[in-house]
Amino acid sequence: MPYTYNTPAQQEEMLQAIGADSVDQLFDVIPDSMKLDRPLNIPPALGELELTSHMQELARQNTNITENTCFLGAGSYDHFVPAVVDTLAARGEFYTSYTPYQPEVSQGNLQVMFEYQTLICQLTGMDVSNASLYDGGSAAVEAMLMAISITRRNSKIIVLESVHPEYRQIIKTYFATIGTKVVTVSDASDLQSVLDQSTAAVLVQSPNFFGGIEDIQTVAEQVHEAGALLVCSIDPISLGLLKRPGDAGVDIVVAEGQSLGTPLLYGGPYLGIMACREEFVRRLPGRLAGQTVDEDGKRCWVLTLQTREQHIRREKATSNICTNQGLFALRAAIYLSVMGPTGMRDVATLCLQKAHYAQQKLTQLDRFESIGDQPFFKEFVIRDKQNDIAGLLRKAADFNLLAGVDLGRWYPQLEDCLLVAVTEKRTIHEIDQLVEVLGS
Amino acid sequence: MNTEELLYCDTHEWVFVSEQDGQKIATVGISAFAVEQLTDLVYMELPSVGAAVTAGEEFGEVESVKAVSPLYSPVTGQVTMVNDGLPDNLDVLNTDPYNAGWIMKVAISQDLPNNLLDHAAYQRQCGEAS
Amino acid sequence: MRNKHATQLIFELSTTGRNGVVLPECDVPTRDVDQLVPASLLQSDCPPLPEVTEPEVIRHFTNLSTLNMSVDTHFYPLGSCTMKYNPKRNERIAGWDGFAQLHPYQSESSLQGMLRLLSELQQMLGEISGLPAVSLQPAAGAHGELAALMVASAFFKQRGENRTKVLAPDSAHGTNPASARMAGFDFITIRSQADGRVDLEHLKENLGDETAVFMITNPSTLGLFDDQVQRIADLVHEVGGLIYLDGANMNAILGVTRPGDFGADMMHYNPHKTFSGPHGGGGPGAGPICVTETLRPYLPSPTVSFCNESKTYYLDEGSEDSIGRVRSFFGNVGVLVRAYCYIRTHGPDGLKRVSETAVLNANYLLSRVKEFLDIPHGDRCMHEFVASAAPVKEATGLKQPAMDIAKRLLDYGFHPPTVYFPLTVPEGLMMEPTETESKQTLDAFADTLRTIVQETAETLHHAPHTTIIRRPDEVMAARKPMVKWTENAD
C-alpha cells in the first residue's frame, strides 16, 4: 500500500470516532452473498523497483520510433515536439487538477482553454472552437450529429471514401443504432448525384487519407446549395500553408490534434479538435471557456454555455461528453504558441518539400508508380508493380525503417499500395535510405 | 394585458385569445412567477414563424446559467409571429412579462384544452409552490 | 509563487517578429510551393498566431499553472471524481519511449510488449469486475456507457427484440440519460426512495418487454451501496433486460464485491479515477467496458488476443456481430498504461486495502461532518457521502449556502466538494476524500468546515475573499458569449 498514510493506531482512532469495531463492519451493508470470498486473481503487488524492471522488460519488446525511422502516418504523425511542451505539461498544477468547476481556483486551466480556443480559431479561420473532444474520429462523428441537430434532417449523411477508414467505421457504428443512412461516395465529383434536400451533412477530409488536398471551397458551394452542412476533417499542420477551412466556407471543422505537440502514444490519448461558425455555438458539444468579469470588475474566465451539456440537459444534451482531453489541449496551446506563424509555415513547408522529394525519388524507381494526380501535402501513395507490400515492409524493417502503411487492410483494390508519410523530422539521408532499400 | 383575463398552464405559460378576421389568435408568454423562479435568464429559443405547435408540447426553451426549461404551448395551431427582439433583451421578461415580453402568436386550429387555469387558480398553484 | 505581473493573454504578449522555435534548413532540393499546390488551395499569409519567444512561453504557462488548485498541491475532495494521488512512477514509465513512441500502425510483431500489457490489463479488469469480456477502446466513462449501450442494442437486434427503453434512477450522472439518447433509446427516470435506494415499486411499474437496460451506479452517487441490487437485477432480467453498472464508484468495492457477482451484465471503469490516472485539468480519461460472455461478440473491435500456436499477441477484429469501432486506433493507451502500473503496484491485497481505506476515510470524515451539517442518508457511507447545507439555509437565510460554503473553503485553501449533485439532495455537498489522504488532513478539513458554518451570512455570501478573482459573472458570460480573444475587444 504505497500511497496511504494512516497508521494502525490512527485507523483505530478513526473507527472509534465512527463507532465501528472494524473496517469490515463498514462493509456490512453489502450482503455476504454478494461479497467476494477469495482474493482477486491478479498478480501479487510489485514495489517500485520491481515494477520498473517489469515495465522495462515490456518496453523492450516494442520497437519504438526513436530507434527506427518512421514513415508511418495515416492519422498519427511523427512530428517534432519542442521540449517546452513536455516541461510545461508535466507541471502537477496542470495535470493533477480537474475540470474547472471552481473558477476562482482554476483560472490557469480556464485561461489555457480560452487561449486554446482562440489559437484553434486563428489556425482554422473558424469563429468558435470548443475546449476539445476525444480524438479526430469521435470529433468527426460528433460533428455529423451536430449537423443533424442543426439542419433537423436525420435521414441521410454523406461521407467521402477518402476520409480516414477508421473514422468512417466509427460513424458507421454510431449511426447504426440511430438509423440515419450513411452514404459513402468515392470522391467529390460523385457528390452531385447523391446530395439532396434530405442530406444533413457531407464529411470531407483534406488532406485526405491518401494525402491529397481537396478543393474544399468548390465542395462547400455544392453542399450549401442543397441546404446541407460541410464538415471538414483537416490536418492542423497543413494549415501553415493551405487555405484555412474557415476561409473556404466550411461549417464545422474537426481534426486529430495529435500533430500539435503530442507523441504517438500507440494511438492515444490524442486531441479531438472541433470548431464551427458562430451561429452554431449552442449546438457545439464539449466544454467552452468564456471571458467575463468578477465582482470587482476584473477580467476572468469561466465555463460557459453549460446548458448544452449532459450534467444539465441530461437526455437532451448535444452530446454525452464529460471528461475531454484538457491536457492535450494544453499541449496544443503551448505548441502553437511556441511555433508561432513562421514556425507553422516552416513546418508545413518542410513537410511539403520533403514529401515531394521522397515521392519523386520513389516513383523514379522502376518498381513504383504514383496513383492519381491530386496535389498532396505530407503523405502520398505509391503502387508496387510487384504487388508485394508485405515483403517490402519486412525488408525495410531489417534496416530499421518503418516504410509506410499497407493500404490493403482497408481498401482491397489498393492491396498493392503503400501510404508514405514524410514529416519535417525526416532528413534527406533517411529519405535516400528508404529509396535505396525499397528499390534494392 | 390584464393578468386577470389571461389563462395559464400549470407549466407557467400564459395565453390571451383574441379574434382577427374570424381567426382566433393566441398570444403566449411566461408568467412573472416563472421568470422569478428561473432567475437570471441568459438565452431563449423561439419557434419559427409557420411552425405547428401542439397544446401541452414544447415549442421553445428558456435558459438560465445552470438550468434549461422547456416552454410548453397552451394551444394548438400555427405560429404567425414571434417576438424577435426578445432573446437579445431578456430583461424585458423581468420588467414587463405580460406585454412587451410576449413570446409568440398562434393561429388556433383547435379548441383550447380544458386544463388551462384561470388567474385565481394559477395564483393558488404558485402560492403552493413557493 | 504567483507572479502578480503575469495577467496577460498569450496574444497580448505577442510582438511582431518574435519567434519561439528554429527549424532546420530544408535539406532536400526544393521547388516553388505553387508548383506543388495550386495557388487557389494555398493561404496567402501565415496563420495569424501570436509571436512569442520560448522564455515567454515558459513563463506564461508556468505562471498560469500557479493559478490552479490540484491534487499535487491541495486536498481535493470533489465527490464522484476520485481525486486521489497520481503516482509519479506511473507518469515516468508511461513516458518511456518503449510505450510513448509507438505508432498505431506498426506491425504486431514490433509491439509484443505493448499488446501483452493491454491483454493482461483486459484480464485484470475482467477479474476485478467479474465480467470477463473486455474492450479497452472507449476514451472516457461516458464514451464507455455509450459503447455498452450500443452493445446492448446490437444484442437485442440480433435476437430480433425491439427494446426501446433505458432506465436509470434520478440520482444518476447526467451522462447516463445523454448516452441513452445517443444510442437511440428513450430514457426513463426511476425515483429513489427517501433512503437513497431505488424505488422498487416505481421500477416495476416501468419494466416490460420494451425494457432494454437499467443503468445503476452502485455504490450510488450518494455513496450508498444499494443492497437491493441483486433483486433489481433479477427483476430486470425477468423481463429480458440487461443491467448496466456505472463504474464511477469502483473505488469503494475493489476486491470486496464484483459487479458481475451482483447481477451486472455490463459496466465501464474510469481508470483515471479508480486507477489513479491524472485528471489532466479535464481529461484525458479512458472508459474500458466489461461485459458477460454472452455479450462478448458485440464488443467494439479490436481487442487484444493471444495466439497459442505462435505464442504471440495480436489485434483481434472480433466477430461479425461486433458493433465496430467507437474510436480511432486502439484507445487512450497512455491512460491504460498508468492503470496497468497502478494495479500491478497494488496486487489483490493492495487493491482491497485501497477500497477499505477509502471507505474508512469517508466514514471518518462523515463522523466529523455530521456534527454540524445534515447527512440525509444516515451515519454510514461507502467511499463518499453527501452532506446537506439546508439547515444553514434556515439559520442564515442564505439562498445558496452550499455554494457559499464551497466558495468559503477556497479562502481556507481547500478544494470544495461537488455541490448541487446529485439533484435529489437539497444544498448538497458531495465529499470524497479518497484513500490517499491522512487523518490530519481530514481533521483539518472538518475543523475548517465547522468554522465556516459558524461564520456570518455576510462572510459566507461574499466569499471567497482571498482568491485572485471572486465570483465571476456567469450570467454575462452566458448572455454574450465571448469564447475567443479578439484584438481590441477590451
Q: Spell out which residues of chain A touch residue C41, defining contact as CB-CB under 8 Å.
A: 213, 215, 242-243, 375
Neighbours of B24 (CB within 10 A): 17
- Pick from C18, C54, C349: which is nearest to A45 by CB? C349
B42, B45, B63: best to mutate for the A interface, most A CBs within 10 A = B63
Q: Which amino acid is at C235?
A: L
Q: Tell me, what's the pLDDT at A357?
A: 98
Name the strand (E) or helix (H) holding A169.
helix A165-178
Q: Spell out which residues of chain B touch residue C479, defining contact as CB-CB under 8 Å.
A: 42-43, 90
Q: Tell me, what's the pLDDT at A1?
A: 57
Please, are residues A282 and C455 in contact by the beta-carbon 8 Å criterion?
no
The bridge status of strand B13-20 relative to strand B7-8 is: antiparallel
Cell 474508512 belongs to residue: C360
Q: What is the pLDDT of residues C176-225, one digit of tens each?
A: 999 999 999 999 999 999 888 999 999 999 999 999 999 999 999 899 99
- Binding partners of C (≥3 Cβ pairs within 8 A): A, B
User: What band does B129 get if pLDDT is binned at 50, 70 and 90?
Assistant: low
**Which CATH class name applies to C349-475?**
alpha beta
Q: Tell me, what's the pLDDT at A116?
A: 98
Q: How far apart are the first and last CA of chain B?
A: 24
User: CA of C313, closest CA in chain B: separation in Å?
Assistant: 48
B42, B94, B130: best to mutate for the C interface, most C CBs within 10 A = B42
User: Number of structural domains, chain B?
Assistant: 1
| Range(s) within chain A of domains with CATH label 3.90.1150.10 | 69-81+340-439
DSSP-assigned beta bridge partners for residue C211:
C165
Q: Spell out which residues of chain C touch residue B43, defining contact as CB-CB under 8 Å.
A: 478-479
Answer yes or no: do A312 and B67 touch at CB < 8 A: yes
Q: Tell me, what's the pLDDT at C490?
A: 52
d(CA A343, CA B80): 55
User: What band does C489 get if pLDDT is binned at 50, 70 and 90?
Assistant: low
User: CA of B39, closest CA in chain C: separation in Å?
Assistant: 10
Neighbours of A252 (CB within 10 A): 28
- Pick from C57, C73, C284: which is nearest to A92 by CB? C73
Please, are residues C78 and C421 in contact by the beta-carbon 8 Å criterion?
no
Calculate what percentage of chain A has a pLDDT beyond 70: 100
Q: Spell out which residues of chain B touch residue C478, defining contact as CB-CB under 8 Å.
A: 42-43, 63, 65
Q: Spell out which residues of chain C touch residue A430, defining contact as CB-CB under 8 Å.
A: none
Please give the grid coordinates belonging to residue C17.
517578429
User: CA of B65, closest CA in chain A: separation in Å?
Assistant: 7
DSSP-assigned beta bridge partners for residue C278:
none
| For chain A, counts of helices (H) and of strands (E) | 14, 15
Backbone φ, ψ for residue A419 (5° rounding): -100, 120
User: What band does A266 get if pLDDT is binned at 50, 70 and 90?
Assistant: very high
The DSSP 8-state label assigned to residue A38 in this structure reads S
Q: Spell out which residues of chain A touch residue C367, defining contact as CB-CB under 8 Å.
A: 17-19
Residues of B with CB under 8 A from a CB of C: 40, 42-43, 63, 65, 90
C478 touching chain B per CB within 8 A: yes
Q: Which amino acid is at C426?
A: P
A90 touching chain C per CB within 8 A: yes
User: CA of B37, closest CA in chain C: separation in Å?
Assistant: 12
The mean pLDDT of chain A is: 96
Q: Tell me, what's the pLDDT at C48?
A: 96
Evaluate if residue C116 carries a pLDDT over 90. yes
Q: Which amino acid is at C350?
A: G
User: What band does A2 get if pLDDT is binned at 50, 70 and 90?
Assistant: confident
Q: Which residues contact C465 (CB under 8 A, 6 or more apart)?
A: C411, C459
Between chain A and chain B, the number of residue pairs with CB atoms below 8 A apart is 15
d(CA A392, CA A439): 9
Answer yes or no: do B43 and C475 touch at CB < 8 A: no
B66 touching chain A per CB within 8 A: yes
Q: What is the pLDDT of residues B78-89, one digit of tens each?
A: 999 999 999 999
Backbone φ, ψ for residue B60 (5° rounding): -175, -170
Q: What is the pLDDT of residues A114-130, one digit of tens each?
A: 999 999 999 999 999 99
User: What band does C165 get if pLDDT is binned at 50, 70 and 90?
Assistant: very high
B65 touching chain A per CB within 8 A: yes
Q: Identify the closest residue of chain C to A103 by CA–CA distance.
A: C472
- Dihedral, C173, C177, C182, C186 alpha carbons, nearest 10: 170
Answer yes or no: do C421 and A311 touch at CB < 8 A: yes
Task: Please state the three-class secondary structure of chain C as a single string.
Answer: CCCCCCCCCHHHHCCCCCCCCCCCCCCCCCCCHHHHCCHHHECCCCCCCCCCCHHHHHHHHHHHHCCECCCCCCCCCECCCCCCCCCHHHHHHHCCHHHHCCCCCCCHHHEHHHHHHHHHHHHHHHHHHCCCEEECCCCCHHHHHHHHHHHHHHHHHHCCCCCCEEEEECCCCCHHHHHHHHCCCEEEEECECCCCCECHHHHHHHCCCCEEEEEEECCCCCCCCCCCHHHHHHHHHHCCCEEEEEECCHHHCCCCECHHHCCCCEEEECHHHHCCCCCCCCCCCCCCEEECHHHHHHCECCEEEEECCCCEEEEECCCCCCCECCCCCCCCHHHHHHHHHHHHHHHHHHHHHHHHHHHHHHHHHHHHHCCCCECCCCCCCCCCEEEECHHHHHHHCCCCHHHHHHHHHHHCCCCCCEECCCCCCCCEEEECCCCCCCHHHHHHHHHHHHHHHCCCHHHHHCCCCCCCCCCCCHHHHHHCCCCCCCCCCC
Please give the grid coordinates belonging to residue C453.
458554518
d(CA B118, CA B106): 19
A2-6, C369-373, C482-486: which range is least confident on average? A2-6
Q: Identify the closest residue of chain C to A91 by CA–CA distance.
A: C65
Answer yes or no: do A6 and C332 touch at CB < 8 A: no
Please give the grid coordinates belonging to residue A323.
471528461
The CATH code that applies to domain A83-335 is 3.40.640.10
d(CA A283, CA A278): 10
B120 touching chain A per CB within 8 A: no
Q: What is the pLDDT of residues B31-57, one digit of tens each?
A: 999 998 888 899 999 999 999 999 999
- Dihedral, A384, A390, A395, A396 alpha carbons, nearest 10: 80
Q: Identify the closest residue of chain A to C91 by CA–CA distance.
A: A90
B40 touching chain A per CB within 8 A: no
Q: Tell me, what's the pLDDT at A307?
A: 85
Q: Spell out which residues of chain B touch residue A316, defining contact as CB-CB under 8 Å.
A: 68
Q: Does the model's ipTM exceed the 0.90 cut? A: yes
d(CA A215, CA A194): 18
Answer yes or no: do C437 and A5 touch at CB < 8 A: yes
DSSP-assigned beta bridge partners for residue A201:
A157, A229
Answer yes or no: do C478 and B90 touch at CB < 8 A: no
Q: What is the pLDDT of residues A201-257, one digit of tens each?
A: 999 999 999 999 999 999 999 999 999 999 999 999 999 999 999 999 999 999 999
Q: Spell out which residues of chain A touch residue B66, defining contact as CB-CB under 8 Å.
A: 306-307, 312
Written as one string, the DSSP assignment of B55-124 is TTSEEEEEEETTEEEEEE-SS-EEEEEE-TTGGG-THHHHH-TTTTT--EEEEE-SPPPTT-B-HHHHHH
Q: Identify the closest residue of chain B to C474 by CA–CA distance.
A: B65
Please, are residues B90 and C479 in contact by the beta-carbon 8 Å criterion?
yes
Answer yes or no: do B43 and C478 touch at CB < 8 A: yes
Give the A window 234-293 contacts with C, CB below 8 Å. 239-244, 247, 256, 263-270, 281, 287-293
C70 touching chain A per CB within 8 A: yes
Whether omega for the bond prior to residue C284 falls within 30 degrees of 0, making it cis, is yes
Return the SS3 of A126: coil
| CATH match of C90-345 with 3.30.750.24 | no
Please, are residues C64 and C17 in contact by the beta-carbon 8 Å criterion?
no
Please, are residues B92 and B100 in contact by the beta-carbon 8 Å criterion?
yes
Q: What is the pLDDT of residues A43-101, one digit of tens each?
A: 999 999 999 999 999 999 999 999 999 999 999 999 999 999 999 999 999 999 999 99
Return the SS3 of A2: coil
Nearest to C327 by CA among C142, C180, C185, C187: C142
Evaluate if residue A107 carries a pLDDT over 60. yes
Q: What is the pLDDT of residues C20-56, one digit of tens each?
A: 999 999 999 999 999 999 999 999 999 999 999 999 9
CATH superfamily to which A69-81+340-439 belongs:
Aspartate Aminotransferase, domain 1 (3.90.1150.10)
Burial status of residue A395 (CB atoms within 10 A of its CB: 0-12, 13-18, 19 or more): middle
Q: Identify the closest residue of chain A to C80 by CA–CA distance.
A: A98
Please give the grid coordinates belonging to residue B58.
414544447
Q: What is the pLDDT of residues C313-372, one digit of tens each?
A: 999 999 999 999 999 999 999 999 999 999 999 999 999 999 999 999 999 999 999 999
C311 touching chain B per CB within 8 A: no
B49 touching chain A per CB within 8 A: no
CATH code for position B14: 2.40.50.100
User: CA of B25, closest CA in chain A: separation in Å?
Assistant: 28
Q: Spell out which residues of chain C touch residue A45, defining contact as CB-CB under 8 Å.
A: 344-347, 349-350
Average confidence (pLDDT) over A424-434: 98
Sign, Cα dihedral of C128, C133, C138, C141 = negative
Q: What is the pTM of this model?
A: 0.96
The mean pLDDT of chain C is: 96
Assigned domain for B93 exists: yes
Q: Tell me, what's the pLDDT at A372?
A: 85
| Range(s) within chain A of domains with CATH label 3.40.640.10 | 83-335
Name the strand (E) or helix (H) holding A252.
strand A252-256
Nearest to A247 by CA among A203, A216, A222, A226: A216
- Binding partners of B (≥3 Cβ pairs within 8 A): A, C
Average confidence (pLDDT) over C381-409: 95
User: CA of C78, closest CA in chain A: separation in Å?
Assistant: 9
d(CA B27, CA B6): 10
User: CA of B65, closest CA in chain C: separation in Å?
Assistant: 6
Please, are residues C280 and C270 in contact by the beta-carbon 8 Å criterion?
no
Between chain A and chain C, the number of residue pairs with CB atoms below 8 A apart is 682
Q: How far apart are the first and last CA of chain A?
A: 57
Answer yes or no: do B43 and C474 touch at CB < 8 A: no
User: CA of B66, closest CA in chain A: separation in Å?
Assistant: 6
Answer yes or no: do C345 and A2 touch at CB < 8 A: yes
Give the residue with greater pLDDT, C172 vs C445: C445
